[in-house]
Amino acid sequence: MREQWLKRWREGRIGFHLAQTHPALVRHWKALKVPGRAKVLVPLCGKSLDMRWLSEQGHPVLGVELAPEAIEQFIAQHSGEISRYHQAGFHIARQGSVELWQGDFFHLHIRQVDEVEAFYDRASLIALPPATRQRYAFHLAQLVPPGAKGLLVTLQHRDGDAGPPYSVSEKEIDELFTPNFSLEKREEGAADERGFAESVWALERRGPLI
């Protein structure tokens, strides 16, 4: 899966990327009542413009992405001073209040995200095959503190296990997250011309870990 993801970025096969802020983020983020200066974790962030939007709302952002091309393209979209450094196997680039960690999300340690108070997943869970999604949900719960709030955008489509993006059912979302998060569906969209239907969920980390 790792090599397939890197190959997609090298070849520019990134149809999942939106050239604007995701409308669901704009519609639902403020209703979460995340504290104004809370640092937001964005796993598998790609070059998402959602990170710019979160930054514009006053949030420091910590994005994690495997593909170096994604990070360089994100930086190139904006002017601004860039600082670069390394930490525990990650190559880190900071531009304004957005910090991008290039490396494996599953290698991220709680000590590296101790200031994180919120999270946003628009295309992380649905980028992962079924066998990896349980690991992802538990690792996310390990990284964010009790009380941390977040927004999860998923989708369902008629091609079953084909992906990415993968179709994730409401039943699976419940099984993955309810052990460690309170979960509330905020929106269920109609299927588009491709047969993709998005759902939007509000999460809040409970504690202790289960």
Cα separation, 183 vs 115, in Å, equals: 23
94 annotated ligand-binding residue: no
What interhelical angle do 2-11 and 68-76 show, nearest 10? 40
Does the annotation list 53 as a binding residue? no
44 assigned binding-site residue: yes
32 annotated to bind ligand: no
In whole angstroms, give the CA distance from residue 125 to residue 136: 7
Report the candidate in 97, 93, 21 with the shortest Cα–Cα distance to residue 60: 97
Contact call for residues 25 and 55 (beta carbons, < 8 A): no
Is the CB of residue 64 less than 8 Å from the CB of residue 127?
Answer: no
Residue with tokens 């960690």: 101
Per-position b or e across 42-59, b if 16+ CB within 10 A of its CB? bbbbbbbbbbbbbbebeb
The string of DSSP letters for 160-207 reads TT--SSPP--HHHHHHHHTTTEEEEEEEEPPP-TTS-EEEEEEEEE-S
Annotated binding site for S-adenosyl-L-methionine: 9, 44, 65, 122
Annotated binding site: 9, 44, 65, 122
